[in-house]
């Protein structure tokens, strides 16, 4: 029907009634959930940033932007639908795809498959790359590339399973560390300049960028990606 947008089997958006319908029954949504879903429907097949969603919902409310609020709203909508209609785009945007556009359709565009060489690509990158797992106690390091290990002089056995604070050794850097902790707690990206040290104690000035990595389908935080760019050595 012209006035219905089919999202998946049995679920559609009724454009006349401006509501979500499942098996001919209207799905009850809160005001925030309804506005969020309507914005995504109005931008069907296009990613909408979390900031855009926040501003659309709370445009008349003088409150500070908080991405957790949007994630919670999306999670509640998903729970009511019991399906993955709303897709997360790398933790910073959401998209509702029409029934005619699926991830398989997008992947069928003859894009090169680099998965076989992904580790080689990362290992040969000319910046330190590290991945930590916030789902484990103390958010430990679970991967680092060759450049990282060569720069700081460690092997995998010496550092995997440790929190990356070990690179600071006894240099507390309280103000910078406080900013990093806040960004991790709020699951927000951050770039700082920080003093790190090699295994034998040599000082390395580093530009550190930390980015939260989210499951693209359920929006849950799964990793933190760290990029260490050397900007000076002593």
- Beta-ladder partners of 143: 131
**Alpha-carbon torsion (174, 179, 183, 186), positive or negative:** positive
CA 46 – CA 136 distance, rounded (Å)? 34
The fold of the 115-233 domain, in CATH, is: Beta-Lactamase (3.30.450)
Q: Are 22 and 82 in contact, with CB atoms under 8 Å apart?
A: no
Mean pLDDT of 41-54: 87
Between residues 217 and 105, which one has the greater pLDDT?
217
Q: Are 129 and 227 in contact, with CB atoms under 8 Å apart?
A: yes
Mean pLDDT of 140-153: 95
pLDDT band at 106 (very low <50, low <70, confident <90, very high): very low
Q: What is the pLDDT of residues 51-78, one digit of tens each?
A: 889 888 887 777 777 778 888 898 888 8
Q: Do domains 4-107 and 115-233 have the same CATH topology?
A: no
Is 41 buried (19+), middle (13-18) or exposed (0-12) by CB count in 10 A? middle
Quickly count: other Cβ atoms within 10 Å of residue 210's Cβ: 20
Domain parsing of the chain, residue ranges: 4-107, 115-233
* pLDDT at residue 102 in the model: 47
Edge-first strand order for the sheet with 4-8 is 4-8, 11-14, 19-22, 25-26
Q: Are 39 and 56 in contact, with CB atoms under 8 Å apart?
A: yes
CATH number given to 4-107? 1.10.10.10
CA 210 – CA 212 distance, rounded (Å)? 7
Highest mean pLDDT out of 4-13, 22-31, 76-85, 159-168: 159-168
Q: Helix 31-42 crosses helix 67-81 at what angle (to 10 degrees)?
A: 90
Percent share of the chain, pLDDT over 70: 87
Q: Are 129 and 147 in contact, with CB atoms under 8 Å apart?
A: yes
- Average pLDDT in the chain: 85
Q: Which run of H or of E encompasses 208?
A: strand 203-214
């Amino acid at each position: 029907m012209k006035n219905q947008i089919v999202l998946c089997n049995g679920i559609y958006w009724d454009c006349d009634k401006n509501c979500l319908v499942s098996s001919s029954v209207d799905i009850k949504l809160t005001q925030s959930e309804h506005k969020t879903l309507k914005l995504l429907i109005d931008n069907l097949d296009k990613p909408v940033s979390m900031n855009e969603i926040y501003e659309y919902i709370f445009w008349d409310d003088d409150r500070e932007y908080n991405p957790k609020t949007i994630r919670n709203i999306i999670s509640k909508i998903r729970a009511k639908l019991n399906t993955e209609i709303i897709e997360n785009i790398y933790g910073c945007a959401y998209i509702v795809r029409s029934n005619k556009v699926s991830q398989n359709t997008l992947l069928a565009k003859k894009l090169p498959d680099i998965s076989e060489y992904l580790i080689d690509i990362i290992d040969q990158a000319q910046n330190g790359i590290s991945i930590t797992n916030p789902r484990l106690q103390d958010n430990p390091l679970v991967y680092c590339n060759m450049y990282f290990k060569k720069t700081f002089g460690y092997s995998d056995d010496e550092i995997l399973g440790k929190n990356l604070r070990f690179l600071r050794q006894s240099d507390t850097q309280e103000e910078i560390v406080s900013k990093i902790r806040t960004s991790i707690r709020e699951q927000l990206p951050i770039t700082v300049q920080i003093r790190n040290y090699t295994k034998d104690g040599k000082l390395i000035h580093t530009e550190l960028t930390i980015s939260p990595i989210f499951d693209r389908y359920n929006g849950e935080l799964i990793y933190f990606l760290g990029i260490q760019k050397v900007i000076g050595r002593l």
